[in-house]
């Protein structure tokens, strides 16, 4: 059965509620157990090498600090283009992810440094809390796009979701999507650490997809827990089922707490054995991270040279 | 290029397999009187692992006499001291867990992920649990002065060789009995490694005796007049034979027999986790599980959706080298069992059920069967009634909860069942009406030493595990 996403719900509260009611519940114990089982997969030698390069190319290299400066943003742009300056065979990362006011700095520096093909993602809609009027969210998004962002990472209104005002959550996503048009991809951040239950995660995932998300993203990185394995599992099941319903593949972006190569490889195993191999590319899976990149590079050097070079052999930015 | 998992085999270097194994009698390894041996093979490769001593009647007699000697020491030992030995055995099993896991996988064919994460840790857990009971038996609710049976003959199957040993030996020792144990013919090696653990723990001689052999060896144990109780886990046919043999004697008897467990899925079930539960219910341990969820009873209005998800999930199951850490389904334990599974599955075809098998690459050597389910199965099909003891699931639909209960209970067995629903009240209602010894709600194949396990009807007599399991080893106990 192939329908378009829009046919799942017309956006009215009754229609949204009716649609979400058709979703199967999630058993928390079972989801935790499945994620824990998949974490036991042993990824070695050639498969590890493949996974490390794939993970690097999926990273949304992120800096989202009050202390961000032009210099800091330029530094991570350089890192994004050439993650390991001693080894040109390392792929570039998936994207740069910054606050609204750093978009133009990042875009300009990437363009001037050979990073034309690396997109800039802007966190938007009063990130991370989303507590602002629609006008503010609109301006936030429009600014980012005007400055060269081709990916918008918006947050949903968790307060509205938890109070049952699903129509508000839905219509905001629809509206921000309309601002993105064909100029920017829309990633919708669910902030699963505030939604808490897996049933909520599944519902919010479908709500976002039906409203036009190109990606569903776990977290802002400002709330713990962030991208836990069972939450990513539930979201991957959601995109898999949404594809079954509509024929449309939506991407998934875990963000927050993924710091080691082991963590990243576990994410790729979840993708492979849940959504499937079709999702194993940067078009459909991204990892929001900063420290992760250096650990991947250290593991990559170890596989290449046979020994750990240590932290002084990767660049700190 | 796609994400293919490179092979990740667990090293065999940790185990030392002797070319020939003797019998473990009176704390020593002794050669069988007749000097006969049989071989045990790795079912994943068909290579011979070792020659095993074949115990005849006279060897069993010797073992029983040794157990009677052991009993004199063991039953008079202060219970708290008995407990210490059990704790010591449990700790040694944990220390040598990797060794046990690799050896079990080689001898049995089950994946290392299962021996490492389930069989061996649970075996140690059974010893820890029962160690704690040794000096508290008067508080177990079985009377103020419970007494051991004496010498217990224990015959265990090949599907969980070490775990079934632990289920039998731990409660027997905790309650002050001594033991003559016969492991299955195709999987003797971990029991013989356990014999070494008994030596390492300096368990008094004769408390545990292990005799290897076949059905005739088992019969010699069952019929030996010096045996005070029989505990058997295995097929219903052999169980009936044993029941007839001990009838008219004063031997105690517990039987853990076959099953045809119903896994009942209601329309409001959490489908993705249910699919995991179905997979775990029937494909865990290649389906060589007496409490397997081998009948999937699914509400008709969600059958298509559920089976689509199940098919997709089955395509992810990794069949192959049991020592590979990423293997989900290993080898069938023996050629004989493979033939039995094949024959019953063919009866499904000829009786008109529709077969789906996961597209697995079957290795050239060894015994293998792909994960399979049949749809269009009714209560009249052989595959709905007989225990297949392999990775073959029969899917039967129902329309109402009442119909689900009727179909679930319409079997000569009554060991296990599963209920999948988001509704708590329906779990309770269903469990109340099912005639099965173990009922899981929104999970399957979960085991714990504190939880009694056993069946109704042709699935067995008595319980193992928990307080109820203790009672089965205490004479005169209520």
* ipTM of the complex, rounded to two decimals: 0.94
Check residue A4 and give its pLDDT.
59
List, for residues A137-181, the tens digit of each pLDDT value: 999 999 999 999 999 999 999 999 999 999 999 999 999 999 999
Domain ranges of chain A: 5-313
- Give the residue from A21, A22, A23, A24 with the most B CB atoms within 10 Å of its CB, the best one to mutate: A24
Contact criterion met (CB below 8 Å) for B180 and B227 = yes
Is residue B48 domain-shared with residue B195, that is, in the same domain?
Answer: yes
Q: In what order do the strands lie in the sheet with A251-253?
A: A251-253, A215-217, A185-189, A151-155, A120-124, A95-99, A59-62, A287-289
> What's the confidence (pLDDT) of residue B290?
96
Indicate if A153 belongs to the active site. Answer: yes
CA atoms within 13 A on the CB side of B197: 28
Residue of A nearest to B5 (CA): A47
Could you tell me the pTM of the whole model? 0.96
Strands A287-289 and A59-62: parallel
Please provide the DSSP assignment of B92-154 as one string: HHHHTHHHHHHHHHHHH---HHHIIIIIHHHHHHHHHHHHHHTT-GGGSSS-SS-EE-SEEEE
- What pLDDT does residue A5 have? 65
Per-residue pLDDT tens digits of chain B, which is 478 residues long: 789 999 999 999 999 999 999 999 999 999 999 999 999 999 999 999 999 999 999 999 999 999 999 999 999 999 999 999 999 999 999 999 999 999 999 999 999 999 999 999 999 999 999 999 999 999 888 888 899 999 999 999 999 999 999 999 999 999 999 999 999 999 999 999 999 999 999 999 999 999 999 999 999 999 999 999 999 999 999 999 999 999 999 999 999 999 999 999 999 999 999 999 999 999 999 999 999 999 999 999 999 999 999 999 999 999 999 999 999 999 999 999 999 999 999 999 999 999 999 999 999 999 999 999 999 999 999 999 999 999 999 999 999 999 999 999 999 999 999 999 999 999 999 999 999 999 999 999 999 999 999 999 999 999 999 999 999 999 865 4
**Which of A26, A42, A46 lies nearest to residue B325, judging by beta carbons?**
A42
- Chain A residues lying within 8 Å of B276, measured CB to CB: 30, 33-34
- Tell me, yes or no, whether B290 and B430 share the same domain: yes
Q: For residues B405 and B433, what is the distance between their CA atoms, to the nearest angstrom? A: 7
A27 Cβ under 8 Å from any chain B Cβ = yes
CATH number at residue B362: 3.40.309.10
Chain A residues inside the 8 Å CB shell of B270:
24-27, 30
Q: Give the phi and the psi of residue A247 in degrees, each rounded to 5.
A: 80, 5
SS3 A132: coil
Question: Does A278 contact chain B (CB < 8 Å)?
Answer: no
B8 lies in a domain? Answer: no
Are the Cβ atoms of B4 and A29 closer than 8 angstroms? no
Q: Closest approach of chain B CAs to the CA of A228, in angstroms?
A: 17
Identify the pLDDT of residue B142. Answer: 85
**Distances in whole angstroms, Cα of residue B260 to Cα of each of A153, A195, B214, B270, B382:** 52, 41, 26, 23, 11
Whether residue A268 lies within 8 A of chain B, CB to CB, comes out as yes
Please name the residues between 211 and 250 in chain A that touch chain B, using a CB distance below 8 Å: 237, 244
Residue B397, SS3 per DSSP: strand
| B192 and B215 part of one domain | yes
Between the alpha carbon of residue A51 and those of residues A46, A88, A288, B3, B316, the distances in Å are 9, 18, 16, 7, 18
Domain match, B93 and B233 both: yes
For residues B2 and A37, the model is more confident at: A37
Answer yes or no: do B197 and B93 share one domain: yes
What are the φ and ψ backbone dihedral angles of A189, each rounded to 5 degrees?
Answer: -90, 120
Residue A239's closest CA among A262, A218, A263, A259?
A: A218
Tokens of A8: 């799942």
- pLDDT higher than threshold 90 for residue A7: no
> Is residue B145, in this structure, part of any structural domain at all?
yes
Q: Indicate yes or no: CB of A24 within 8 angstroms of CB of B272.
A: yes
Is B410 in the same domain as B467?
Answer: no
Look up residue A221 and give its two tokens.
Answer: 């990185």
Measure the CA–CA gap between B106 and B12, rounded to whole angstroms.
9
Pairing of strands B23-25, B229-233: unpaired
Pick the residue of B272, B312, B313 with the most A CBs within 10 A to test the interface with A by mutation.
B272
Identify whether residues B329 and B407 lie together within a single domain. Answer: yes
How near does any CA of chain B get to the CA of A23, in Å? 9
**Burial class, B277, CB count within 10 angstroms (exposed 0-12 / middle 13-18 / buried 19+):** buried
Q: A253 catalytic, yes or no?
A: yes
At residue A34, the pLDDT reads 98
Is A26 within 8 Å of B4 when comparing Cβ atoms?
A: no
B185, B256, B386, B387: the catalytic one is B256
Residues B269 and B306 occupy one common structural domain = yes
Mark yes or no for CB contact A41/B326 under 8 Å: yes
Q: How confident is the model at residue A315 (pLDDT cuts 50, 70, 90)?
A: confident
Number of domains in chain B: 2
Using CA atoms, how far residue B405 sits from B354, B426, B427, in Å, is 24, 12, 12
Contacts of A54 in chain B (CB under 8 A): 3
Q: Are residues B215 and B358 in the same domain?
A: no
| A85-101 pLDDT per residue, tens | 999 999 999 999 999 99
Nearest to B113 among A24, A40, A273 (CB): A40
Residue A3 clears pLDDT 70, i.e. is over it: no
State the pLDDT confidence band at A1, using cuts at 50, 70 and 90: very low
The answer to whether residues B248 and B295 belong to one domain is no
Contact, B146 vs B108, CB < 8 A? Answer: no
Q: Report DSSP state, residue B394.
A: E
Query: Which chain A positions have a beta carbon within 8 Å of B326's beta carbon?
Result: 41-42
Burial of B16 (0-12, 13-18, 19+ CB in 10 A): exposed
Q: Do A280 and B2 touch (CB under 8 A)?
A: yes
Quote the CA–CA distance of B383 and B36 in Å, as a whole number: 39
- The Cα B206–Cα B418 span in angstroms is 41
Say whether A273 and B316 touch across the interface (CB within 8 A): yes
Measured CA angle at B213 (ends B208, B214), to 5 deg: 125
B113 CB neighbours in chain A (<8 A) are 40
The answer on B469 and B381 residing in a single domain is no
| Chain A residues close to B4, C-beta within 8 Å | 47
From A74, A79, A217, A266, the catalytic residue: A217
Residue A2 has pLDDT above 60, yes or no: no
Residue A6 has pLDDT above 70, yes or no: no
Tokens of A121: 């993602």
Are B270 and B400 found together in one domain? yes
CA distance B307 to chain A (A): 14
- Sequence length of chain B is 478
Which DSSP helix (H) or strand (E) runs through B91?
helix B79-95
Residue spans of alpha helices (H) in A59-165: 70-81, 103-112, 134-146, 158-163
CA-based end-to-end distance of chain A: 48
- B186 within domain boundaries: yes
CATH 3.40.50.10860 for domain A5-313, yes or no, is no
Domain that holds residue B199: 20-257+457-475
């Amino acid at each position: 059965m192939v329908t378009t996403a829009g046919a799942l719900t017309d956006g009215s509260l009754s229609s949204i509620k009716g649609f979400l009611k058709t979703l199967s519940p999630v058993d928390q114990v079972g989801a935790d157990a499945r994620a824990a089982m998949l974490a036991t997969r042993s990824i070695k030698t050639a498969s590890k090498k493949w996974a490390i390069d794939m993970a690097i190319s999926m990273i949304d290299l992120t800096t989202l600090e009050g202390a961000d400066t032009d210099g800091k943003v330029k530094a991570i742009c350089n890192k994004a283009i050439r993650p390991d300056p001693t080894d040109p065979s390392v792929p570039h990362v998936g994207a740069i992810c910054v606050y609204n006011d750093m978009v133009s700095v990042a875009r300009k520096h990437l363009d001037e440094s050979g990073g034309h093909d690396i997109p800039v993602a802007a966190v938007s809609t009063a990130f991370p809390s989303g507590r602002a009027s629609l006008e503010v969210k609109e301006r936030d998004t429009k600014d980012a796009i005007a400055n060269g962002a081709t990916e918008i990472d918006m947050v949903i209104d968790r307060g509205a979701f938890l109070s049952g005002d699903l129509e508000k959550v839905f219509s905001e996503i629809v509206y921000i999507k309309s601002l993105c048009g064909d100029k920017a991809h829309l990633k919708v951040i669910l902030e699963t650490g505030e939604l808490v239950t897996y049933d909520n995660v599944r519902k919010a995932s479908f709500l976002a997809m039906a409203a036009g998300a190109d990606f569903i993203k776990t977290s802002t990185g400002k709330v713990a827990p962030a991208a836990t394995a069972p939450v990513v599992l539930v979201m991957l099941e959601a995109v898999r089922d949404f594809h079954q319903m509509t024929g449309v593949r939506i991407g998934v972006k875990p963000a927050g707490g993924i710091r080691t190569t082991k963590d990243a490889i576990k994410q790729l195993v979840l993708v492979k054995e849940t959504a499937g191999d079709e999702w194993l590319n940067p078009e459909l899976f991204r990892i929001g991270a900063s420290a992760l990149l250096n650990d991947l590079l250290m593991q990559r050097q170890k596989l290449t040279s046979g020994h750990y070079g240590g932290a002084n052999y990767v660049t700190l930015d | 290029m796609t994400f293919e998992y490179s092979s990740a085999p667990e090293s065999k270097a940790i185990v030392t397999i002797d070319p020939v194994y003797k019998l473990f009698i009176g704390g020593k390894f002794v050669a069988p009187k007749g000097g006969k041996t049989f071989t045990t093979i790795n079912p994943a490769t068909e290579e011979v692992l070792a020659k095993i001593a074949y115990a005849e009647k006279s060897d069993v007699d010797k073992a029983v006499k040794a157990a009677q000697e052991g009993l004199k020491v063991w039953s008079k030992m202060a219970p708290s001291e008995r407990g210490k030995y059990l704790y010591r055995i449990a700790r040694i099993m944990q220390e040598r867990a990797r060794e046990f896991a690799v050896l079990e996988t080689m001898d049995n064919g089950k994946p290392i992920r299962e021996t490492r994460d389930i069989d061996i840790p649970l075996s140690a857990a059974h010893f820890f649990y029962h160690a704690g009971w040794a000096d508290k038996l008067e508080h177990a609710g079985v009377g103020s002065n419970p007494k051991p049976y004496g010498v217990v003959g224990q015959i265990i199957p090949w599907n969980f060789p070490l775990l079934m040993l632990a289920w039998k030996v731990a409660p027997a020792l905790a309650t002050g009995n001594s033991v003559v144990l016969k492991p299955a013919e195709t999987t003797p090696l971990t029991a013989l490694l356990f014999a070494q653990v008994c030596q390492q723990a300096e368990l008094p001689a004769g408390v545990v005796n292990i005799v290897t052999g076949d059905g005739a060896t088992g019969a010699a144990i069952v019929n030996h007049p010096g045996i005070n109780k029989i505990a058997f886990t295995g097929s219903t046919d052999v169980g009936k034979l044993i029941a007839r043999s001990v009838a008219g004697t004063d031997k105690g008897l517990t039987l853990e027999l076959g099953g045809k467990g119903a896994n009942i899925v209601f329309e409001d079930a959490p489908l993705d986790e249910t699919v995991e539960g179905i997979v775990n219910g029937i494909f865990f341990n290649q389906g060589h599980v007496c409490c397997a969820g081998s009948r999937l009873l699914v509400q008709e209005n969600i059958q298509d959706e559920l089976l689509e998800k199940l098919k997709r999930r089955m395509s992810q199951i990794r069949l192959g080298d049991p020592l590979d850490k990423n293997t989900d389904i290993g080898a069938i334990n023996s050629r004989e069992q493979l033939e039995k599974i094949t024959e019953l599955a063919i009866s499904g075809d000829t009786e008109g059920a529709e077969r789906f098998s996961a597209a697995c690459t079957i290795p050239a050597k060894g015994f293998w069967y792909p994960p399979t389910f049949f749809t269009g199965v009714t209560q009249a099909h052989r595959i709905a009634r007989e225990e297949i003891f392999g990775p073959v699931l029969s899917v039967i639909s129902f329309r109402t909860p009442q119909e689900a209960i009727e179909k679930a209970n319409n079997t000569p067995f009554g060991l296990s069942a599963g209920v999948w629903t988001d509704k708590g009240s329906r779990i309770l209602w269903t469990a109340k009406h099912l005639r099965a010894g173990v009922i899981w709600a929104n999970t399957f194949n979960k085991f714990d030493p504190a939880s009694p396990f056993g069946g109704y009807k042709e699935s067995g007599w008595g319980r193992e595990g928990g307080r109820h399991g203790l009672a089965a080893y205490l004479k005169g106990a209520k």
